[in-house]
Amino acid sequence: GIPGKKCGTVIVTAEELGCCRDSVLMQFCANKLDKKDFFGKSDPFLVFHRSNEDGSFTICHKTEVIKNTLNPVWQAFKISVRALCNGDYDRTIKVEVYDWDRDGSHDFIGEFTTSYRELSRGQSQFNVYEVINPKKKGKKKKYVNSGTVTLLSFLIETEVSFLDYIKGGTQINFTVAIDFTASNGNPSQPTSLHYMNPYQLNAYGMALKAVGEIIQDYDSDKMFPALGFGARLPPDGRVSHEFALNGNPQNPYCHGIDGVMEAYYRSLKSVQLYGPTNFAPVINHVARYAASVKDGSQYFVLLIITDGVISDMAQTKESIVNASKLPMSIIIVGVGPAEFDAMEELDGDVVRISSRGKFAERDIVQFVPFRDYIDRSGNHVLSMARLAKDVLAEIPEQFLSYMRVRGIKPSPAPPPYTPPIHVLQTQI
């Protein structure tokens, strides 16, 4: 604001949202709109308004501008039914037609009103609207209209949520991969990221518990494959980038997050931290499972906890690009003080990740640096809750993007369980 000068007001109005999850895909065209520009024709666009409970109107959608035509065909657009009319099919929807001007003083061509119920009839004679300019109508006796707007198509889509799939029986499979490279430091030293402190969890343990305890609620059998990478294994000292933490390569499953923690501590005592830091083997390990069930009945989440100095960047990128076609997501938690530039690149939020000229079909990697969540006040409960929230924030959308691309709908939820009624038989 400018002192002493009134800079306008902002008005906030609220209305309870109806529980309508439909969206609608609509397309419009117009014919013989009024010519507003001195040189050339008009540059028309549409503005849609939802009516509010007090009779006022709120803009809910603007189309793109189509240059220099009186017979525009606008692109189809998608809008939620909540935004359009808050699920009230008979509420007025006002549509204004404007001629775009570079300086922002767009010229009003005319308007019409409709409702969701009318629009839902689809392309028909009912959905050809006369565009009326009230000023012109008042002045000119012979005024008919300022053109017409026609609905070309109307398609209803019900938006499904992550929970609809979970209710319908989709299983979330959670796999953990832990970095056992020498850059973490000797586990017997307090400076090590893998330090086995009898009194409190190290960074790996904290990250594992924070994320795992939330994910385990979505995994019905609570059996988690837990892998390690970058260590030399007993008895022969061979280096492995994909070993079972419980020492059983045929069955790397651990029971619950507590079982994973136990296997992690046991591994620390038996393996030798080594290197290099290769991600591709564990990503490919999970991808092999994900590739075998693409029908939407299962989805795989891989949690990689690492100190971040990655050695096989090219192979990892290729693995991620290939995995982006599969029902899986990758979460990377970076622990320790290293620079995590490579991880930010894998995250792909700024620039979509690519390998050999091929781009990832969708974004499947979420990276978070653990150090941003270490609570200075020592309240680890709150900081771990924040970590879990941010780590898991992208999973539902990544999950839905896979299902959408494949056209997989959630299965109907089974009826709620009712226990059988035991009839008491009395002996006479």
Name the burial class of residue 43, with classes exposed (0-12), middle (13-18) and buried (19+) by CB atoms within 10 angstroms of its CB: buried
Could you tell me which residues are beta bridge partners of residue 173? 300
- Euclidean distance between CA atoms 206 and 186, whole angstroms: 18
Rounded distance, CA 221 to CA 255, Å? 9
* Portions of the chain given CATH number 3.40.50.410: 162-406
Spatial separation of the C-alpha atoms in residues 8 and 16, rounded to whole Å: 27
Residue partners of 304: CB distance under 8 A and separation at least 6: 177, 179, 279, 282, 330, 331, 332, 333
Domain 162-406 indexed as CATH 3.20.20.140:
no
Report the candidate in 253, 242, 351, 353 with the shortest Cα–Cα distance to residue 304: 242
Residue 427: the pLDDT is 63
Count helices and strands in the chain by DSSP H and E runs: 11, 20
In order along its 428 residues, the chain shows pLDDT tens digits of 677 888 888 888 888 877 788 999 999 999 999 988 777 789 999 999 999 888 899 999 999 999 999 999 999 999 999 999 998 999 999 999 999 998 889 999 999 999 999 999 999 888 999 999 999 998 888 999 999 999 999 999 888 889 999 999 999 999 999 999 999 999 999 999 999 888 888 989 988 988 888 888 888 889 999 999 999 999 999 999 999 999 999 999 999 999 999 999 999 999 999 999 999 999 999 999 999 999 999 999 999 999 988 999 999 999 999 999 999 999 999 998 888 888 988 988 878 899 999 999 999 999 999 888 887 776 777 888 888 888 888 899 999 999 999 999 999 888 877 777 766 666 65
pLDDT of residue 363: 93
CATH fold of the domain at 22-158: Immunoglobulin-like (2.60.40)
Residue 61 CA, chain-centre distance (Å), reads: 22
Give the model's pLDDT for residue 12.
85
CA–CA dist 110, 126 (Å, integer):
19
Question: Of 320, 316, 317, which is closest to residue 362 (Cα–Cα)?
Answer: 320
SS3 category, 228: strand
Number of residues that make up the chain: 428
pLDDT of residue 8: 85
* Greatest extent of the chain over all pairs of C-alpha atoms, in Å: 103
Non-local (6+) Cβ contacts of 211 within 8 A are 303, 331, 333, 387, 388, 391, 392
396 touches 162 (CB < 8 A): yes
Of residues 270, 280, 263, the one with CA closest to residue 236: 270
In the chain, ranges of CATH 2.60.40.150 domains? 22-158
H or E element in which residue 80 lies: strand 77-80
Residue among 286, 228, 223, 284 at smallest CA distance from 257: 223
Angle between the N-to-C axes of helices 203-215 and 256-270, in degrees from 0 to 180, rounded to the nearest 10: 150
Identify the bridge partners of residue 45 per DSSP, sorted by sequence position. 98
pLDDT score recorded for residue 53: 85
3-class DSSP assignment, residue 145: coil
Residue 378 has phi, psi (to 5 degrees) of: 85, 5
**C-alpha R_g of the chain:** 30
- Alpha carbons 88 and 29: distance in angstroms, whole number: 25
Query: What pLDDT score was predicted for residue 423?
Result: 63
What is the Cα 80 distance to its own chain's centre? 17
